[in-house]
């Protein structure tokens, strides 16, 4: 039966449609219907392709959602979708794309789908994942504190705009979105090559992880390990881009809040011990 076979993509599609229609009607803005229907369709398509064993399924979703957010919402619509945009719209009390985006994808959403945003939608990682170091070549570096600096720098930047009553804030926010993204790409690519790790930016620099990590600790959706089936071949750990100890089912598993649900470990396991 089609609904049984494709239950997960259908469920995701329905979930996004409920958000789309709910926000459209409550906010009286048809943009939300278009926005969440598009994202829901892209994610459902990716899940469908994944179920059909298409190896680039995740990358297709990443490109469909990431490019839409970066180019359409960010560049064409002029909405700052970076963290400073979130602070700005939050302080002005405007419930717009950036605030909704953060609330859905980065604060409430991770309770349900963990760091799925990082695996399937982020426009920064969308580029970084094209680089050659899919799995980190060396051990973790001790520089994770940098993300606190970038987090508070973004907050102070926006607070300063209000404190000093800077004019044309929207204009500044738009250009800071362009400059910020360029900087993220430059730093992300440089770090990836320096540490031979595509996801070094995610591990050490990204300010959004201050929201994502604590929320995804409680994620409903997570990788489950079946010890009975495992033959200890170690293939799962060899392919993980985020150094997660997926062979530990506890919430406190090593780097558990960094799992981007890429499913590479699941695909690599010869015994279907992970799901
Ligand atoms: S950690 Fe940051 S840069 Fe990396 S995928 Fe997540 S949101 Fe994007
Ligand atoms: S390989 Fe597995 S544990 Fe590692 S990030 Fe991907 S889904 Fe998570
Ligand atoms: S790949 Fe599968 S069988 Fe091998 S160690 Fe991991 S869980 Fe066990």
Condensed to tens digits (0 to 9), the pLDDT of residues 10-36 reads 988 998 899 899 989 988 889 889 988
pLDDT at 206 over 80: yes
- The C-alpha atoms of residue 228 and residue 171 are separated, in whole angstroms, by 58
Q: Which atom of ligand 2 is nearest to the CA of 260?
A: 5
Query: Looking at the domain assignment, is residue 121 inside a domain?
Result: yes
Domain count, the chain: 3
In a domain, 158, yes or no: yes
Where does the pLDDT of residue 181 fall: very low under 50, low under 70, confident under 90, or very high at 90 and above?
Answer: very high
91 inside domain: yes
| Nearest CA residue ID for atom 4, ligand 2 | 240
Q: Which long-range contacts (CB under 8 A, 24 or more apart) does 254-259 make?
A: 256/217, 256/222, 257/114, 257/115, 257/212, 257/213, 257/214, 257/216, 257/217, 258/115, 258/202, 258/203, 258/213, 259/114, 259/115, 259/216, 259/222, 259/223
Distance 224 CA to ligand 3 centre (A): 12
Q: How confident is the model at residue 99 (pLDDT cuts 50, 70, 90)?
A: confident
Distance CA 257, CA 203 (A): 11
**Residues near ligand 2 with C-beta < 6 Å?**
223, 239-242, 244, 246, 259-265
Domain containing 14 equals 1-54
pLDDT of amino acid 8 = 82
Gap between the Cα atoms of 36 and 50, Å rounded: 21
pTM as predicted: 0.91
Same domain assignment for residues 186 and 242: no
Residue 61 lies in a domain: no
Q: Is residue 90 domain-shared with residue 188, that is, in the same domain?
A: yes
Does 39 score more than 70 pLDDT?
Answer: yes
How far apart, in whole angstroms, are the C-alpha atoms of residue 9 and residue 48?
6
């Amino acid at each position: 039966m089609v609904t049984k076979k494709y239950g997960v993509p259908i469920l995701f599609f329905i979930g996004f449609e409920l958000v789309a229609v709910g926000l459209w009607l409550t906010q009286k803005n048809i943009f939300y219907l278009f926005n969440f229907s598009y994202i829901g369709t892209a994610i459902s398509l990716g899940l469908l392709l994944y179920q059909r064993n298409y190896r680039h399924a995740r990358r297709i979703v990443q490109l469909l959602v990431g490019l839409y957010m970066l180019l359409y919402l960010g560049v064409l619509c002029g909405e700052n979708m970076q963290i400073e945009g979130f602070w700005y719209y939050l302080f002005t009390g405007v419930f717009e794309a950036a605030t909704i985006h953060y609330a859905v994808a980065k604060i409430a959403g991770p309770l349900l789908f963990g760091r799925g945003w990082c695996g399937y939608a982020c426009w920064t990682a969308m580029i970084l994942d094209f680089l050659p170091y899919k799995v980190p070549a060396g051990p973790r570096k001790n520089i994770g504190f940098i993300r606190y600096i970038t987090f508070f720098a973004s907050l102070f930047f926006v607070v300063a705009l209000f404190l000093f009553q800077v004019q044309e804030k929207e204009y500044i926010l738009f250009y800071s979105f362009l400059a910020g993204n360029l900087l993220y790409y430059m730093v992300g690519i440089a770090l990836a090559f320096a540490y031979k790790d595509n996801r070094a930016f995610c591990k050490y620099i990204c300010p959004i992880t201050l929201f994502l990590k604590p929320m995804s600790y409680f994620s409903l959706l997570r990788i489950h390990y079946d010890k009975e089936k495992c033959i200890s071949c170690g293939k799962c750990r060899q392919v993980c881009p985020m150094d997660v100890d997926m062979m530990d089912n506890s919430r406190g598993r090593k780097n558990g809040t960094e799992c981007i649900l890429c499913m590479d470990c699941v695909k690599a396991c010869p015994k279907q011990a992970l799901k």
